[in-house]
Amino acid sequence: MHYEHHPDDERPLKADPQLLRRMLAYAAPYRGALLWALVLTMATTALQLAQPYVLKIAIDDYILGPGSAAGLRDLALLFGLIYSAGLFLHYWQFNLLMGTGQRIVHAIRRDLFAHLQDLPLTYMDRNPAGRLLTRVTNDAETLNELYTGFLVDLLRDLFLLAGIIVIMLRLHTSLALLTFSFIPLVLFATLIYRLKARPAFRELRRHLARLNSFAAENIAGIRIIQAFLQEKNRFNLFSAINEAYYRAGLRELKVFAVFRPAMDLFRSLALATLLWFGSGSVMAGLLPFGVLFAFINYVEQFFRPLNDISERYSILQAALASAERIFQLLDEQKEADPPAAVSLPLNKIRGHLVFDRVWFAYQQEDWVLKDLSLEIKAGARVAITGPTGAGKTSLVNLLNRFYPVNRGSIRLDGTDINLFDRRALRQQIGTVQQEVFLFNATVRENITLNLLNLSPAELEVVARAAGSYAFIRELPEKFDTPVGERGFTLSTGQRQLLALTRILVFNPSIFILDEATAHLDAYTEALLQHSLARAMEGRTSIMIAHRLSTLKMAEQIFYLDQGRIKELNNFQQLLAELQL
Amino acid sequence: MMNEFLTLLPFLREHYRRYLLGVACVLAVDFLQMLIPRLLGLFTDALLLSPVHTGQLRFYLYLIVAIAAAMAFSRYLWRLYIMGTAQLLEQYLRNLLFQHLQKLPPAFYLRHRTGELMAHLTNDINAVRNSLGISIVLLVDAVFLTAMAVFFMVTTVGYGLTLLALIPLPLLAVSFKKLGTAIYQRFLGVQESFGTLTETVKENISGIRLVKAFALEDTEKERFSAAAADYMQKNFHLYRAWGLYNPLAFFFALLSFMIVVIVGGRMVMEGRISTGDFVAFNGYVVLLAWPMMAAGWVVNFLQRGRASMERINRLLQEEEAAAEGGRPALDPATVQGDLRLEQLTFRYEGAPGDALRDLSFTIPRGKITVLTGQIGSGKSTLLYLLLRFFTPQKGQIFLGEHPLESFSLSAWRSSIGYLPQDGFIFAGSIAANISFARPNATREEIAEVARLAALDTEIASFPDAYDTPVGERGITLSGGQQQRLSLARALLPRPAFLFLDDPFSAVDLATAEKITANLAGLKDTTIVLVSHRLQTFKQAHKIIVLEKGRLAAEGTHGELLGRKDGAYLRLCRDQLWQEKIGQA
C-alpha cells in the first residue's frame, strides 16, 4: 500500500474546462440513462414538494372549508397513491443513477488498466506501484461520486430549490421574498465556513498522512526498533503526531460545530420572521391560514438543498483532483510499433543477433552501454559476464524492446527489431530470471499462462523434459496446486524450473538466462543444469552469469564492463590461473 | 453482547462525564425541538381565535427564537462533548494499539502484512470512533425523540389518534432491521470484490515484465475486466438493497401522514380537536420519521464498530515479547565466555522444513566470525535467533555458562548492535538515523562511528552534512551508503556484540576492506558477520559455512581451503574469479 502524502492534495483546484469536458465525454454514452434519471428525480421532487400543498388543500378546502370527510379521505388516498408511485420512481432513479455511475467508472477503469498494459517500462520505473494502483482503484472510485453525487444531485437540488421558489412566489409573493431575504445570509455563512474549514481540513489530512506513514514505517522497520530497544522513543514520537492529529481534528470539529447549528438557527429565524409578517396578513384577511401553514413547511425544505450545495463543493474538489491524476496517466505515451508492423513469421526466426554500435542510457547521457557491438550467430550459446551494474541486464531489456536504444541498432536475422511488432518479438524471447514471478494461480496456469490448452499428458511430457515434474508430482494437487504469493510456497530453484517448463512450452527462438543461477546451492544448480541444456537446444542462448560452473556451459564468453564489451578468448587460461 | 467494547473501559471510566454532558445536550436539543411544533400549534390557535391577541402572538415568536438559540448552543456543545470525546477515544485507541504492536515479536509480523495492520490502525479505529461518536447521538435521538414525540402526541390529541398514527412504526423498525443486515452483507461483498480488484492490479504491476515478455496484455485485460465487472455487479447488488432505504422510510411516514389527515382531519371537522392540535400533531408525525431512520444507522454503525473492535481486540490479545524477566541484574557485556550454539534447530511457523538444523559451534568472544553460504542456507535466521527475534524449537544458545534466555530481553538487546540485510533507513536526518539507539548522542560520537563505517567524507559532501534528511522526503542514498549508514547506527552504542547481515554486499572491495579493518580494531567486541567476500574471509578469525540450515564446515580461511572440493572452495573460486576478471 501507498501511504505517501500526495502533493496534489494540497494544490488549489483550478476549474479546467478541458478536464470537465473529458469527464463528460465518459458520461456521454450514458446520457440517455442520466437524462432519464434526471427526469425521474424531477418527478419525485415534484411529488415531495406536493405534500405540504396537499395539506394546505386539506385544511383550507376540507377541514376548515366546505369539503366532506369522505372527500378528505379520497384526497388523502389519491395523494398516497401518487406519492407511493413517486417512491417507486425514486427507487428506480436511485438504481439507475448509481448503476450508471458504476458503469462509467468501469469504463474509465478498463481504459486505465488497458493503458497501463501498454505503457513503457520507463514509466513503470518512475512511478511506484502503489501510486499506479491508487489510480485504478481509489481515484476511479472517487470519480463515481462526481457522476452520481454531483452531476445529478446538484441538478436535483437546484430543481428542488427552483421548485420551492416558484411555488412560494405563486402562493404569496411578499412572503416568498421575505423568505428569500435569508439566502444572502446563508451564502455568507457558508463562505465564512469554507474559509475556516479548508485550512483546518487540509491540516487534518496532513497530520493523518504523517501519522500513517510513520506507522507504516514502524511496521516495516519493527526489527530494527526492537533490536535497538527503541519501542519507547518511537511511541513517544508517534504519540506526539497522534496528539497533533487530534488537535487538528478538534479544530475542524469546532468550525463545523458552529456552522451547522448556525444554519439551523437561521432557519428558525426565517420561520419566526415569516410567522410575524404572515400572521399580520392572516389577521388582515389578506392571507388564508393554509398558505401560511404551507410556507412553514416549505421553509424547512428550502434550507436543506442550500446546505447540501455547499457540501457538494468539497466532493467536486476531490473528484476533480482524482480526475486530473487519472487523465495524466491516460495521456502518457504508449509503447509504439512501427506504422506498418512487419509481422514476425513464427518458427522461421533463426536467431541471428547483431548489436550494432549501441548506445543506451536510462537517464540522459548517463550511459549504461557505450558504442557496444556484438554478434551472436543463430543457435550459438554465449555467456556474458562482468561486474554488477555493468549493463548486462540492460542488453536483455533492449533486446526485448522494454527500452528504446538511444543510438545504433539491434538486428534480428538482419532486420532492425524496431520494425517488428513488439509483442511478436517478445514472444520469440524466453527469459529465466533470478526472481521468477508467479501469478496467484495454479501450476498449470503459470506454465500455460492461459494462452495454450495442454492436456495433462502433454503437460507431463514437457514438465519431465524441463525437470520440473519431480517436484510437481509431490505437490498436493499436482498441476492444479495454487502457487504464488497466496499459494504453496516454492523455492527459488523450483520457481526457475517452472519458468524453464514455460519456455519449453512456448518454444521461443532465443533463450536468455539472466543471473538465474547466481545464488543456488550446488545441489539445486546441478539439478537445473540438465534442464538448462534442454532449454538451450536448438536456440540462440544468452547466459548472463558469474559462476564458473555456468560459464563453462557456454561456447563463447563475453566480458562487459562500464558499457563496453570484449570477448574472453583466454577463458581456459584465466581459469587455470585462479589460485587461492 | 457488546463485550467487545470492554477494552475501552479505562478510557470510558475517565471520560464518561463528557459523554454524559454531551448526552444531556442532545436531550436538551431533542426536548426543545419538541416544543417548536407545540408552539406553532399554539400560535395557530391564537391566530385563528378572534379577537386575536397580538401580544400573545409576539410572545410565542420570541419564545420560538429563544428556543432556537438555545438549541443552536446545545448543538454546538454536544458536538464538542460527544464528537470531541470520540476523537479523543480515537487517539487513545490508536496509541494503545501502536504501543502494543511495538512489543509484538517478529513472528507476529511474519503472519500479518503491513497493509492489513495499517487497515486496523486506520479503518477499524475509525469504525470504533463512529460507533462511540455519532451513533451515540443518533441512539439518544432515536430513543428520546420517539418517546417525547409520542408523549406530546398523547397530550395533544389523546391515545386514540396517537396509536393509529404509530401503527406503521413497528413495521418500519422490523423492515429496517432486515434491510440493515442485507445492506451490511452486500457491503461486505462489495469490499471483498474491491479487494480482489486491487490484488489483480497489484499482481499485474509487479509482474509487468512477464506480462510484456509473453505478450499477455490481452489476457490480463480480460482478467481485469472480469474482476472489475464483478465489482460493478456487487455494487448493483448493494444498490438494490440500499436504494430501498429512503423509499421505505418515506412510505411509512406517508402511511402515518395519511392516517393523520384522514382521521385527524375528521376529528377537527367534528370539533373533537382544534386545528392547532391537528397542525401540531402533524408536526410530531413528521418528526418521528427522523429517529426511525436514525435507528437504522445506529444499528449499522454499532455493528461495524463491534466487528472492528473485535479485530482490534484480537491484535491486543497477541502475546507481547516479555522485555523483562530472566535475571535483570545479569549484564551480558560483563559475563565471561564465548557464545555457544548447542544443537540448535529452528523452523518458521507453518514452514514445510527446518530453517536451521542441529547447529552446534562456538563464536569466540571478542573476535570476528563470518557466516557464509548460499541464499536460503539460514544465515539471517541464525542472526535472528542470536537477536532473540525467534525462539528455537530445540537446542540453546549459551553465553559462557548462561543460556541466552537468562538475560532479560532488554539487557540482551542493549548489549547488541544489528545491521539488517535490507539496510532499512528511517525518514529523518542522517544524524537521527545514526543516533537511533541513543537519540542524545553527541555530534562527536556520531562523527566517530560514521568514520568507522567509512561514511564520514560522503556525509560531509551532502547539502546539510549530518542534518541532511534521508528517506521518503529526503535525498536518496545509494545501496552502499545505506549499508554504511546502518553500520554506523549499529556501532553507535558501542555494543559488546555486533550482528551484521551482509554489510558489504553493495560496498566496493577497497572500502569493505577498510571497514573490516576498523571493525577488527574494536576492543572487546564480538562480531558475527554474514558475507560472501573473499577479503572478509581472510580477515575473519573464524568462518562458518552453512548449507540448507546445517553446518557444512567451520574453521579459518586457511583450514577450509585445505579441504579439497568442498562448498567453501567453490564459493572462493567464484569470488576470486569475479575479483580477477575485474582486473583483467
CA B278 to CA B272: how far, in whole Å? 10
pLDDT at A5: 40
**One domain for residues B297 and B438:** no
Examine the fold and report which residue of B467, B494, B521 is the final residue of a domain before the chain moves on.
B494
Contact B68 A268 (CB under 8 A): yes
CA nearest to B279 within chain A? A293
Contact B426 A217 (CB under 8 A): yes
* B226 confidence band (pLDDT: 50, 70, 90): very high
Is 80 exceeded by the pLDDT of residue B82? yes
Which of chain B's residues have a Cβ under 8 Å away from the Cβ of A420? none
CA A203 to CA A547: how far, in whole Å? 55
Among B residues 326-385, those touching chain A with beta carbons less than 8 Å apart:
351-352, 373-377
DSSP assignments along B533-575, one per residue: -HHHHHH-SEEEEEETTEEEEEE-HHHHHHSTT-HHHHHHHHH
Is 50 exceeded by the pLDDT of residue A11? no
Q: Give the mean pLDDT of A366-389.
A: 85
Mutate to test the interface with B, among A53, A81, A224 (most CBs of B within 10 A): A224
pLDDT at A453: 83
For position B381, which CATH number holds?
A: 3.40.50.300
CA B268 to CA B261: how far, in whole Å? 10
CA A355 to CA A382: how far, in whole Å? 14
This complex has an ipTM of: 0.82
Examine the fold and report which residue of B283, B316, B349 is the final residue of a domain before the chain moves on.
B316
Q: Is B55 at the interface with chain A, CB within 8 A?
A: no
Is 60 exceeded by the pLDDT of residue A7? no
Alpha helix positions (H), A391-432: 392-399, 422-427
pLDDT at A382: 92
**One domain for residues B242 and B360:** no
How many contacts does A have with B, using Cβ atoms within 8 A? 362
CA nearest to A120 within chain B? B212
**One domain for residues B218 and B292:** yes
* A387 confidence band (pLDDT: 50, 70, 90): confident
Residue A366 identity (one-letter amino acid): D
Compare A336 and B485 and report the one with higher pLDDT. B485
**One domain for residues B287 and B377:** no
Asked, for residue B382, whether it belongs to a domain, the answer is yes
Asked, for residue B2, whether it belongs to a domain, the answer is no
From B521's Cα to the closest Cα of chain A, the distance in A is 23
Q: Give the mean pLDDT of B559-572.
A: 77
* B342 confidence band (pLDDT: 50, 70, 90): very high
Those residues with Cβ within 8 angstroms of residue A441's Cβ, 6 or more apart along the chain or in another chain: A482, A483, A484, A487
Asked, for residue B397, whether it belongs to a domain, the answer is yes
For position B108, which CATH number holds?
A: 1.20.1560.10
The H or E element spanning position B210 is helix B208-213
Q: Is B47 at the interface with chain A, CB within 8 A?
A: yes
**One domain for residues B509 and B486:** no
Which of chain B's residues have a Cβ under 8 Å away from the Cβ of A258? 76
Asked, for residue B80, whether it belongs to a domain, the answer is no
**One domain for residues B309 and B411:** no
pLDDT at A389: 66
Compare B154 and B287 and report the one with higher pLDDT. B154
Asked, for residue B25, whether it belongs to a domain, the answer is no
From A444, A579, A470, select the one nearest A524 (Cα to Cα): A470
Is 70 exceeded by the pLDDT of residue B555? yes
pLDDT > 90 in chain A, percent: 6
Per the prediction, chain A carries an average pLDDT of: 81
The H or E element spanning position B497 is strand B497-500
Q: Give the mean pLDDT of B140-168.
A: 83
Highest mean pLDDT among A10-19, A434-443, B279-288, B395-404: B395-404
Tell me how many domains chain B contains: 3
Q: Give the mean pLDDT of A154-159.
A: 78
Contact A451 B577 (CB under 8 A): no
Asked, for residue B64, whether it belongs to a domain, the answer is no
Among B residues 210-239, those touching chain A with beta carbons less than 8 Å apart:
210-217, 219-221, 224-225, 228-229, 231-232, 235-236, 239
Secondary structure percentages of chain B, helix, strand, coil, to 5: 65, 10, 25
Residue B138 identity (one-letter amino acid): L
* A4 confidence band (pLDDT: 50, 70, 90): very low
Secondary structure percentages of chain A, helix, strand, coil, to 5: 65, 10, 25
> Over the stretch B352-384, which tens digit does the pLDDT of each residue have?
788 899 999 999 998 999 998 877 788 889 999
Nearest to B87 among A62, A84, A249 (CB): A249
* B74 confidence band (pLDDT: 50, 70, 90): very high
Burial classification of residue A347, based on how many CB atoms lie within 10 Å of its CB (0-12 exposed, 13-18 middle, 19 or more buried): exposed
Contact A268 B115 (CB under 8 A): no
Least confident window among A389-393, B117-121, B461-465: A389-393
- Integer angstrom CA distances of residue B198 from A573, B203, B205: 55, 9, 11
Asked, for residue B511, whether it belongs to a domain, the answer is yes
Q: Is B478 at the interface with chain A, CB within 8 A?
A: no
Q: Count of alpha carbons within 13 Å of A525, Cβ hemisphere only? A: 20
pLDDT at B449: 94
Per the prediction, chain B carries an average pLDDT of: 85
Is 80 exceeded by the pLDDT of residue B486? yes
* Cα–Cα–Cα angle for A552, A554, A560, rounded to 5 degrees: 100
**Angle between helical axes of B146-157 and B159-166 (0-180°, round to 10):** 140
**One domain for residues B226 and B366:** no
Mutate to test the interface with A, among B67, B87, B212, B217 (most CBs of A within 10 A): B212
Question: Looking at the whole model, is its pTM more than 0.80?
Answer: no
**One domain for residues B193 and B312:** yes
Among B residues 268-327, those touching chain A with beta carbons less than 8 Å apart:
268-269, 275, 278-279, 282, 321
Is 70 exceeded by the pLDDT of residue A310? no
Contact B109 A268 (CB under 8 A): no
From B296, B299, B319, B318, select the one nearest B307 (Cα to Cα): B299
Contact A63 B278 (CB under 8 A): yes
Which of chain B's residues have a Cβ under 8 Å away from the Cβ of A220? 114, 424
Q: Give the mean pLDDT of A321-346.
A: 76
Q: Give the mean pLDDT of A418-432.
A: 84
Grid coordinates representing A451? 494462452
Contact B228 A106 (CB under 8 A): yes
Is 80 exceeded by the pLDDT of residue B248? yes
Compare A200 and B327 and report the one with higher pLDDT. A200
**One domain for residues B446 and B549:** no
**One domain for residues B290 and B430:** no
Which of chain A's residues have a Cβ under 8 Å away from the Cβ of B64? 268, 271-272, 275
pLDDT > 70 in chain B, percent: 97
Q: Long-range contacts made by residues A529-533, C-beta under 8 angstroms, separation at least 24?
A: A529/A553, A530/A467, A531/A465, A531/A466, A531/A467, A531/A468, A531/A497, A531/A500, A532/A500
Which of chain B's residues have a Cβ under 8 Å away from the Cβ of A87? 247, 250-251, 254
Q: Give the mean pLDDT of B564-583.
A: 72
Contact A62 B387 (CB under 8 A): no
> Over the stretch A475-517, which tens digit does the pLDDT of each residue have?
888 888 888 766 677 777 788 888 888 888 888 889 888 877 7
pLDDT at B397: 93
pLDDT at B237: 92
* A54 confidence band (pLDDT: 50, 70, 90): confident
Examine the fold and report which residue of B444, B469, B494 is the final residue of a domain before the chain moves on.
B494
Contact B83 A439 (CB under 8 A): no
* A2 confidence band (pLDDT: 50, 70, 90): very low
Contact A87 B211 (CB under 8 A): no
> Over the stretch A324-333, which tens digit does the pLDDT of each residue have?
888 888 888 8
From A359's Cα to the closest Cα of chain B, the distance in A is 22
Q: Is B203 at the interface with chain A, CB within 8 A?
A: yes
CA A319 to CA A143: how far, in whole Å? 5
pLDDT at B548: 83
The H or E element spanning position A208 is helix A183-220
Contact A289 B202 (CB under 8 A): no
Is 80 exceeded by the pLDDT of residue B581? no
Q: Give the mean pLDDT of A394-418.
A: 87
Asked, for residue B44, whether it belongs to a domain, the answer is no
pLDDT at B472: 64
> Over the stretch A261-288, which tens digit does the pLDDT of each residue have?
888 888 888 888 888 888 888 777 777 8
Compare B112 and B224 and report the one with higher pLDDT. B224
Specify whether the CB–CB gap between A419 and A342 falls below 8 A: yes
pLDDT at B92: 94
**One domain for residues B440 and B487:** yes
Least confident window among A354-358, B229-233, B253-257: B253-257
* Cα–Cα–Cα angle for B18, A239, B473, rounded to 5 degrees: 135
Is 60 exceeded by the pLDDT of residue B208? yes
Mutate to test the interface with B, among A4, A113, A250, A296 (most CBs of B within 10 A): A113
Specify whether the CB–CB gap between A177 and A270 falls below 8 A: no
* B117 confidence band (pLDDT: 50, 70, 90): confident
From A396's Cα to the closest Cα of chain B, the distance in A is 11
> Over the stretch A67-123, which tens digit does the pLDDT of each residue have?
777 888 888 888 888 888 888 988 998 898 889 989 999 999 999 999 988 888 888
Mutate to test the interface with A, among B35, B80, B121, B205 (most CBs of A within 10 A): B205
Among B residues 159-188, those touching chain A with beta carbons less than 8 Å apart:
none
- Integer angstrom CA distances of residue A465 from A447, A497, B183, B362, B378: 13, 10, 54, 45, 31
**One domain for residues B375 and B228:** no
Domain encompassing residue B361? 339-415+498-584
